[in-house]
Structure 1
Amino acid sequence: MKLQHLFSTIPGIPEHALPEIEVSGIFNDARKVVPDGLFVAIRGVKVDGHTFIPDAISKGATVLVVEDPNQVPNNFKGFVLRVENTREALDLLAAHYHGDPAQEMFCVGVTGTNGKTSVTYMVEAILNHANMPTGVIGTVNHHLQEKVWPSEMTTPDPIYLQKRLREFKDDGAQAVAMEVSSHALDQHRVDSVPFNTVIFTNLTRDHLDYHETMEKYLEAKQRLFTDLLWMTDKHPCFAIVNIDDKYGRRLHVADPAVLWTYGADKSADLHFRIKSMDFTLTTFELKTPMGAIEIQLPMSGTHNVMNAVAAIGAGLSAGIPLEKCAEAISKFNGVPGRLQSVPNNKNLSIFVDYAHSPDALENVLTALTKVRESLNSSAKIWTIFGCGGDRDKGKRPLMAEMALKFSDAVVVTSDNPRTEEPQTIIEDILKGVDAQDKTRVTVMVDRKEAIQTAIHKAQEGDVILIAGKGHEDYQIIGTTKFPFSDVQVAEQALQGRT
């Protein structure tokens, strides 16, 4: 792409001032630069991309986009553009380089501490059911129907995001459902995505190692509903907000957007009431701006009903009839690692879930507790969990408190310890265990051993929740990823149970 055409998306640059340069690609990682590439120097949380400018030049970069031109070598013969914010510039350039693919699709963005993955998968199910082929970008993977790409983070950087959106469009996608993380919003990764519909699921303690305070965390989420909705040229655009959440009630929404609230609160625009629930099926009534209906969701848990209602709101915003949305939800086959059942003939109810925050753990355990009560069962609930290393340490004892509140037996183990000592993480978790609760807690550093032990000790009818890693098929120890799947380990333990 010609530099003049590429930079036409950046305001204030006179075209006559630009040299006749053909740009072969956009990069923010100096190691990946190719000859005639454009390198954008990003000031990261830990590393400043400006320090890698010489490496980018040695790889063949002929165009540099920087905030500090003083860090460009004096002998550089290419073109240098100084901007106030290279993150914003990278977002604009990446979208333009790939032809602004999101302009041609119905775009749904989902943000919140919990529920993002489930909601995007449910939105996908509804839109696909309405013959709108839908790509999904999120934590588990990126996929469009049978085609799957790996995911390195919840929301990729603009270069990979726009490349993926272009691939979706070229492969026939008419819509995309995206998880939008607070990091991505804070770092302007999705500013060039013109959203049709944005969803707020909830806000609870997480990522304070990055945001520092809950108010800053909220401010990052807020951008999706104000800044980005003001910038979108999709009309009408919709904001679907969880009114049961205290932060959802505080959320501001840009004037051009249609606001639909959802929740169990009777004032919600999309209001639900659960009629019955067991471990595999929930029946609920839903009232919406488009009418009322009874829906059967093949999942358990009030939080999953909330997710389904949010997704139905997105479907309605796309003009899909309520009955068709309900049909799609009734056939929904779940999300990997989200209250995923591990089938067995041992009369055990075993679930693997990604819950790695106190609120997420509470949601899942509340669901399992309510079902146990409705069945008048005396079965024990076992919870196996750990906490990730190099992440918010303050939530560790809170996770223990939540596990003990709803469980009969708790096994504390490793999650992804990363560069921290597993035992140190466990000691932080145990600060949330009172003296009278210690008899209900077992510590096993080895996660495989912890899962095996719980499955072997559980009695028939018991419920076992393996929390924290969900869909992940690895465990990060140090800086290395080792193959590890909670589901597979549980299946192996079941084979060894007599």
Structure 2
Amino acid sequence: MKLQHLFSTIPGIAGHVLPDIEVSGIFNDARKVVSDGLFVAIRGVKVDGHSFIPDAINNGAAVLVVEDPNQVPNSFKGFVLRVENTREALDVLASHYHGDPAEEMFCVGVTGTNGKTSVTYMVEAIFNHSQNPTGVIGTVNHHLLEKVWPSDMTTPDPINLQKRLREFKDAGAKAVAMEVSSHALDQHRVDSVPFNTVIFTNLTRDHLDYHETMEKYFESKQRLFTDLLWKTEKLPCFAIINIDDKYGRRMHVADPAVLWTYGADKSADLSFKIKSMDFALTVFDLKTPVGTTEVELPMSGTHNVMNAVAAMGAGLSAGIPLEVCKAAIASFTGVPGRLQAVPNNKNLSVFVDYAHSPDALENVLTALTKVRESLKSNAKIWTIFGCGGDRDKGKRPLMAEMALKFSDAVVVTSDNPRTEEPQSIIEDILKGVTAQDKNRVIVLADRKEAIHATISKAQEGDVILIAGKGHEDYQIIGSTKFPFSDVQVAEQALQGRV
């Protein structure tokens, strides 16, 4: 693609005559640069891409996009473009290079601490049910109908994101449902995605190792509803916001957008009231801007009702009839690792869930507790969990407090320890355990052993929650990923239970 076209909308460069260079590709990793490639030097959290300019040149870069031209060797014979922010430039360049694929798809962006994955899967179900093939980008994977691509982060960098959107478009996608992380918003990874509808689920403590404060965390989420909506040319556009959440009530929305609120709050545009709930089915009444109806959701938990309502709002914003949205939710098959039941004939209710923050753990355990109460059961609730290494240490004792609040027994184990010592992480977790609760806590650092031991000790009718890793099929120890699946380990333990 010609250099002139790539920079046609970048401030400070658009309108200037540029050399007649045919760019072979866009790169932010100097190791991947090929002949006639364009290298964008990104200042990262730990590493400055400007340091790798010589490597990019050696690999054949013809164009360099930088913030500091002084770091370009005098011997470089190619073309150098200075911009104020290379992250913002990379986002635009990647979109243009792939032909701005999102322009012709209905784009739904979902942000919030919890619920992003479930909402995107539910949006996909609704749009597919209305004969609009929908691609999904998020934590579990990227997929379009039967085609699946692996995912290594919630929201990809602009190069991989725009490449995937192009693949979706070429494969016939009419829409895309995308998880939008706070990191992605802070780092301008999605600024060039013209969203039709954006959803805010909630905001609770997480990622403070990156954002430092809850206010900065909130400000990153806010960008999706102001900066990005303000410049969209897709009208009408919608902002769907959870007003049961205190940060949702603070959220500002850009003028072009239609604001729909949702929640249990009766004043919400989409408000719900739960009628019944068990481990496999929740029935609720729903009021919407286009009418009221009764909805059957084949999942448990108020948090999953919230997710379903948000997704139905997205469907309605696209003009999909309420009855179609309702039918799609009624046939929803769930999300890998999100309150995922592990089938068995041992009369145990075993669930695997991705909950790795205090609030997420509270949501899941509240759901299981409510179901137990509705069934008038004396079953014990067992919670197995750990905390990830090299992440926010402040939430570790809070996780213990939340687990103990709703569980009869807690098994503290390892999650993804990464470069930290597992025992050190466990000691941080145990700071949230009071002297009177110590007798309800078991420590087994080996996660496989913890799952096997719990399933062996539990009595018939008991409920076991294996929290933290959800869909993940690996465990990160040091810098190495080892094969590990909570679901598979639980299945093995259940088979071996006498």
TM-score by length of 1: 0.99
State the match for 1:330 in structure 2: 330
Partner Cα distance (1:379, 1:425) in 2: 30
RMSD: 0.7
State the match for 1:41 in structure 2: 41
Displacement after TM superposition at 1:461 (Å): 0.1
State the match for 1:211 in structure 2: 211
Q: How does 1:291-330 map to 2 (within 5 A)?
A: 291-330=291-330
> Aligned letter for 1:270?
L
Matched, 1:437 2:437: yes
Displacement after TM superposition at 1:52 (Å): 0.4
2:156 match: secondary structure: coil
Displacement after TM superposition at 1:9 (Å): 2.4
State the match for 1:195 in structure 2: 195
Residues 103-122 of structure 1, C-alpha deviations (whole Å, 9 max, x = no match): 00000000000000000000
Residues 179-212 of structure 1, C-alpha deviations (whole Å, 9 max, x = no match): 0000000000000000000000000000000000
Partner Cα distance (1:459, 1:255) in 2: 56
Q: How does 1:72-471 map to 2 (within 5 A)?
A: 72-471=72-471
Change (3 A) 1:16 1:354: closer
Displacement after TM superposition at 1:17 (Å): 3.7
Residues 210-260 of structure 1, C-alpha deviations (whole Å, 9 max, x = no match): 000000000000000000000111000000000000000010001110000
Displacement after TM superposition at 1:15 (Å): 5.5
Residues 86-108 of structure 1, C-alpha deviations (whole Å, 9 max, x = no match): 00000000000000000000000
Change (3 A) 1:349 1:109: same
Tell whether the 8 Å contact from 1:403 to 1:410 is kept in structure 2 after alignment.
yes
State the match for 1:59 in structure 2: 59
Tell whether the 8 Å contact from 1:109 to 1:177 is kept in structure 2 after alignment.
yes
Displacement after TM superposition at 1:16 (Å): 5.8
Partner Cα distance (2:336, 2:141) in 1: 10
State the match for 1:9 in structure 2: 9
> Aligned letter for 1:142?
H
> Aligned letter for 2:233?
D
Displacement after TM superposition at 1:479 (Å): 0.1
Displacement after TM superposition at 1:5 (Å): 1.6
Partner Cα distance (1:184, 1:6) in 2: 22
Partner Cα distance (1:165, 1:245) in 2: 31
Partner Cα distance (1:238, 1:136) in 2: 19
Partner Cα distance (1:395, 1:151) in 2: 25
> Aligned letter for 2:310?
A
Partner Cα distance (2:31, 2:390) in 1: 25
Displacement after TM superposition at 1:13 (Å): 2.4
Partner Cα distance (1:223, 1:17) in 2: 32
Tell whether the 8 Å contact from 1:39 to 1:56 is kept in structure 2 after alignment.
yes
Partner Cα distance (1:5, 1:460) in 2: 66
Residues 34-54 of structure 1, C-alpha deviations (whole Å, 9 max, x = no match): 110000000000000000000
Percent same amino acid at aligned positions?
A: 88
Partner Cα distance (2:68, 2:436) in 1: 58
Partner Cα distance (1:120, 1:7) in 2: 32
Tell whether the 8 Å contact from 1:94 to 1:162 is kept in structure 2 after alignment.
yes
Partner Cα distance (2:320, 2:175) in 1: 13
TM-score by length of 2: 0.99
Runs of 4 or more above 2 Å deviation: 11-17
1:62 match: secondary structure: strand
Tell whether the 8 Å contact from 2:7 to 2:14 is kept in structure 1 after alignment.
no
Displacement after TM superposition at 1:10 (Å): 1.5
Q: How does 1:471-490 map to 2 (within 5 A)?
A: 471-490=471-490
2:241 match: secondary structure: strand
Partner Cα distance (1:188, 1:261) in 2: 26
Change (3 A) 1:230 1:42: same
- Structure 2: state its 5+ residue gaps: none
Partner Cα distance (2:76, 2:165) in 1: 34
Partner Cα distance (1:245, 1:238) in 2: 18
Matched, 1:31 2:31: yes
> When the two structures are aligned, how many residues end up with a matched partner?
498
Tell whether the 8 Å contact from 2:12 to 2:83 is kept in structure 1 after alignment.
no
